[in-house]
Structure 1
Amino acid sequence: MDRPAWWAFEAALVATLLTAGLSQRRALVLLGISRGSWQLRLRPRPRSLQPVPHRQRRAPAWLSTVEVDAITAKLTTAFASGKSVYQAYFEAWDAADPVASLSSWYRIAHAHLEASRPVRRRARHRTTAMPQWDATGPMQVWSWDITKLKGPYVGTSYDLYVILDVFSRKIVGWRVEALESGDLAKDLFERAITDHGGVIPRIVHSDGGASMTSRTLTELFRDLTVQVSRNRPRVSNDNPYSESWFKTAKYAPTAPRFFTDLDHARAWAATFVAWYNTQHRHSSLEGHTPATVHDGTWVHVHQQRQAVLADLAAAHPERFTQAWRVKTPHAHVVLNTPQPDNRLTTG
């Protein structure tokens, strides 16, 4: 029996059951016919002469071709200067022209510009347990470390000293020298404290290197009543904030593979630290720069982003199924403890 004949037979059975006093729903249940299929048989939809595949059917929330082209152009310009999708998105948002969500930017980059995306070199790191502390504001906890910058010859390197405020991720002190010394580290901390109005951090975290445990630096921290936080012995990667910054610096597209001399290393470090503090949209700060979180001006940027989002929601209500709020940075920065979900407030 072909399909039309079978449908006619089922229709006759339904009519018989309706005559016997059953409801249409009960009759369909007894015959095992879905109500949707039954309604389509009664009122069939006209066949499309040119069917469109489901994935190509446009939805009201889809971006227009003009918007996709605008995002593609912004990403092309950003990739040419070595910026990531994340950096380009927040720069466009701060310029009041985000056009779409961050996921849409990543989707467009993957679909149209995957071959031209700047790819950083990757390094392996293993996670380890660490001492515990909690920072709720700038100038409370500093993390510092020293890393090697490659010189022009084998066996030649320069030491980059970096002090980082873990709450704001701002570099509060740095220097590049030809050797590692506790006296140089002490001078760096004294200048960092002076440059920040004499405010002394509560905790300084570091590993157990020779400069970190030197007598001169230890005496300075004791005189300033600074609590020293040390990594556990025989753990090579237990200073996440400093190590993360070193990776950001060394694997940046603008980082050279080696430095010709000490002046070259100092000039590059000065440029990179200035860019990082004032222009780098930090993923742990919800796209804000370390300098704005450090001095509190992130509030104005946050309010501007919220206004831009409100204008976008008003212009395209079909894209917003609920009221969206722009996230603020975390109110706690912790080490080896559960991360609270508290956020900074703008009031």
Structure 2
Amino acid sequence: MIDAYSRRVVGWSIAEHIRTELVVDALEMARWQRRPTPGTILHADRGSQYTSWVFGHRLRDAGLLGSMGRVASSVDNALIESFWSTMQRELLGRRTWPSRVELAAAIFEWIEGWYNPRRRHSTLGYLSPHEYEALHTAAITAA
């Protein structure tokens, strides 16, 4: 899960399946990291994991509002599709992974050690997600 404001990856999970519990785990990680206020919008595609009763129930319990775009909208998930493309190009496509444990460790290191703290984004004025959030947090605090 990516914060659309800062492009920071705030929730992720890895498994050998794409069942609902995979996205619920990512949601719980995002909730733990962000502590979103009630009414925060979570946008997802129309995949069965996101339209499931369990996922919707978790959103409602957290006071979050679910959002989904139109079917077959190419811009609906542009942010996450861009992220997947970047991770494929910068990490996944560079080697093979002998085990899920090694892959999970590499993904963790790439997200938490590179993507969030150091990878620059043109949409953020060539700042990393951490730098962008720090800059704007300082400006809000000063105001």
Which whole-Å deviations, capped at 9, do the CAs of 1:155-193 have from their partners, x for residues lacking one?
xxxxxxxx1000010011111111112123223312321
Conserved 8 A contact 1:164-1:173: yes
Match of 1:192 in 2: 30
Q: Distance in 1 between matches of 2:7 and 2:22?
A: 22
Question: CA offset at residue 236 of structure 1?
Answer: 5.3
Deviation at 1:299, TM superposition (A): 5.9
Cα distance 1:209–1:241, how it changes in 2: closer, same or farther (>3 A)?
A: same
1:187-236: CA deviation from partner (whole Å, max 9, x where unpaired): 3312321233x324611111100111111001111223322111211335
- Percent of paired sites with the same residue: 26
**SS of residue in 2 equivalent to 1:267:** helix
Q: Is the 8 A contact 1:172 1:192 kept in 2?
A: yes
Q: What is aligned with 1:249?
A: 87
Letter in 2 for 1:281: R
Alignment-derived partner of residue 49 in structure 2: 211
Larger RCO, structure (CA 8 Å, separation 6 or more): 2
User: In structure 1, how many angstroms separate the alpha carbons of the residues matched to 2:23 and 2:10?
Assistant: 13
Inter-partner Cα distance in structure 2 for 1:223 and 1:254: 35
In 1, the alpha carbon distance for the partners of 2:73 and 2:95 equals 27
**1: CA distance, partners of 2:73 / 2:97:** 29
C-alpha deviations, 1:244-282, integer Å up to 9, x for none?
A: 111111112674354322112201211110201001111
| Mapped contact 1:288–1:298 kept (Cα < 8 A) | no
Q: Distance in 1 between matches of 2:138 and 2:128?
A: 12
Q: Taking structure 1 as reference, are residues 232 and 252 closer, same or farther at Cα in structure 2, changes over 3 Å only?
A: same
Distance 1:287 1:180, change over 3 A: same
Structure 1: segments with no counterpart, 5+ residues: 1-162, 301-343
Q: Which of 285, 289, 296 is 2:128 aligned to?
A: 289
Letter in 2 for 1:234: A
Partner of 1:180, secondary structure, is: coil
C-alpha root-mean-square deviation of aligned residues, in Å? 2.6
Counterpart code for 1:279: R
Q: 1:216 to 1:290 in 2, by over 3 A?
A: same
CA change 1:288–1:228 in 2 (3 A) is: same
TM-score (norm 1): 0.37
Alpha-carbon offset, residue 285 of structure 1: 0.6
Structure possessing the higher radius of gyration over alpha carbons: 1
Which structure dedicates a bigger proportion of its chain to helix? Answer: 2
For 2:53 and 2:92, how far apart are their aligned partners in 1? 37
Which residue in 2 is equivalent to 1:169?
7
Question: Secondary structure at the residue paired with 1:173?
Answer: coil
Match of 1:232 among 41, 50, 70: 70
* SS of aligned partner of 1:204: strand
Query: Is there any run of 5+ residues in structure 2 with no aligned partner, and where?
Result: none
Are 2:14 and 2:22, in contact at CA under 8 Å, matched by a contact in 1?
no
Task: Figure out how many residues of one structure are paired with residues of the other and give that number.
Answer: 140
Once residues 246 and 260 of structure 1 are traced to their aligned partners in structure 2, the CA distance between those partners, rounded to angstroms, is: 21
TM-score by length of 2: 0.83
Q: 2: CA distance between counterparts of 1:257 and 1:235? A: 32
Listed one character per residue, the Cα deviations across residues 37-57 of structure 1 (whole Å, up to 9, x for unaligned) are xxxxxxxxxxxxxxxxxxxxx
Is 1:270 paired with 2:116? no
Relative to its length, the structure with more strand (as a share) is 1
Q: 1:257 to 1:212 in 2, by over 3 A?
A: farther
